[in-house]
Each structure stands twice: as C-alpha cells, then as structure tokens.
Amino acid sequence: MDSFTLRRALVLSLAILSALLQLGCDRGKEAPASAGFAEAAVTKLDRARRERTLGKLEALRAALTRYAIDHDGAAPEGSSLAGISAELAPRYLPIVEAEDAWGNTMSYASDGRAYSIVSAGPDGVSGSADDLTLRDGAVTGGT
C-alpha cells in the first residue's frame, strides 16, 4: 500500500470513528426504545408473580376453611407453613407450598382461633407496602 492510500484509509477511518462517537454521545440523551420494553416485561412478570401468589393464598384459604369446618372452627396452631403442613396435606391441600412466586418463604402464625399468612412481596421485606396478607380468610395489601 502506498502512503497516499494509507493516509486516505486513515482519514476515512477517523471520520467514521468520529461519526460513531457522535452518535453514541447523542444516544445517552434519550432512553433507548429497548428500555421501555424491558420495563414493561418486568412489570408483566411482577404482575404474573403477584397473581400466582394470590392463587397460592387462595388455595391455603380454602384448605384452612375446610380444616376449620372439621375442627370446630379452629385453625392449625403454629408459626410456619412447614410446621402445619402435616395437618393440611394431603387431606385439605395436596401440597402446602410455603414459598411465594418471588421465592420468599411465606410466614404463618396462628393461635388456633385466628391465622395470618404473609408474603413479603416482590421486595422480599416483610412489613412493607407490597406485602400480601391472608388474615382469617381475607387478602389485603400488595400495592
């Protein structure tokens, strides 16, 4: 390659590099379209996990209601779903699933008269606004 062709290739390469850098710098000023898609996908996934967790809570509610009918209105006493699973499965529920759809262990508490089951929700922190709570047959929370 002669020096003229080499200089021409170098100038052309620098021009292309400069244009690419300019385009790259301008891209940071606007959110890429893919960011909106990713956010929508995460929102839909979170909504699906919420619905799945609500389904698990509903299955537990139905099992605890049938248990109470057979035990003069009492709920199984305990402090965890694992601890009461032998009382519920398989007669009232084939399998007692203790994890919510986010992979967090749901808490259970009952003194025999009242019960509560809490899913810590998407953030995995109990006591926050996104918790789903089943208390004596009614689901609340999950904002």
**Average pLDDT of the chain?**
85
pTM of the full predicted structure?
0.72
Which one, of 139, 140, 133, 81, lies nearest residue 105 by Cα? Answer: 81
The domain defined by 34-141 folds into Glycoprotein, Type 4 Pilin (3.30.700)
Q: What is the pLDDT of residues 87-136, one digit of tens each?
A: 999 999 999 999 999 999 999 999 999 999 999 999 999 999 999 999 99
Q: What is the DSSP string of 118-135?
A: EE-TTTT-TTSTT-EEEE
Token pair 């006493």 in the structure block, residue? 77
Residue ranges covered by each domain of the chain: 34-141
Cβ proximity of 92 and 112 under 8 Å: no
